[in-house]
Amino acid sequence: PHLTGEVVVDGMLDDWKDIPAISFETLLTPAMRARRLGAADFGVSMRVAWNEKALFVAAEIADQRHSNHYSDGRIEWDDSLTLSLSPMGRKPGCRVVLALGEHGPMSSTTPPGLAIQSSTVRRQFQTIYEAIIPWSALAGFAAIGGETCALGVTANDRDGEIDFLQVNNSGP
């Protein structure tokens, strides 16, 4: 939905209450559900909004065992959230990876150096990711009538050396 108010990227989702959540539960295969560590493991829900300046994304991922061992380009190999944006029918797009490592929040962008705002926090058995991605990250794209931008979302959950779950969702 179109965002008319303000969103603060702080790991608190109080300012997202008027944006409907999208559950990824129906995207999990029976095999993925069977590999969960418990009923609350790898539950993914997100909220997406936009205004004339940016795309706003918030995701809550339930995870009984948070894992991220990397601080380099491999941050998405463990628990992380990847956002891929692509203006329909045009290039270039952009890619944002958010993760929480042992030294705090981490992000990676393609192309490198995009001016995004992000927050990744851990509360009990939940990791909360927030990002504001300015439309200027998509060269030549403007959030006006008739323009469409595809958003791909990948949530990653690694609970062990070989136990890795990944769920994807995309669309305009």
User: What confidence tens digit (pLDDT) does each residue in 25-36 have?
Assistant: 777 777 777 776
| pLDDT of 60 above 60 | yes
Task: Please give the Cα distance from 62 to 54 (Å, whole number).
Answer: 26
Which tops the pLDDT comparison, 32 or 7?
7
Reading phi first (left if > 0) and then psi (alpha if -120 to 50, else beta), residue 143 is in beta
Identify the residue whose tokens are 């779950």: 165
- When pLDDT is averaged across residues 141-166 and rounded to a whole number, the result is 73
Q: Hey, what amino acid is at 37?
A: L
| pLDDT of 162 above 60 | no
Instruction: Give the pair of three-digit tokens for residue 144.
Output: 């006006």
Identify the residue whose tokens are 């491999």: 74
Instruction: Indicate the pLDDT class of residue 169, thresholds 50, 70 and 90.
Output: low
Task: List b or e across 60-96, with b for residues whose CB sees 16 or more CB atoms inside 10 angstroms.
Answer: bbbbbebbbeeeeeebbbbbbbbbbbbbeeeeebbbb
CB 44 within 8 A of CB 160: no
Task: Please give the Cα distance from 19 to 48 (Å, whole number).
Answer: 7
- When pLDDT is averaged across residues 20-27 and rounded to a whole number, the result is 84
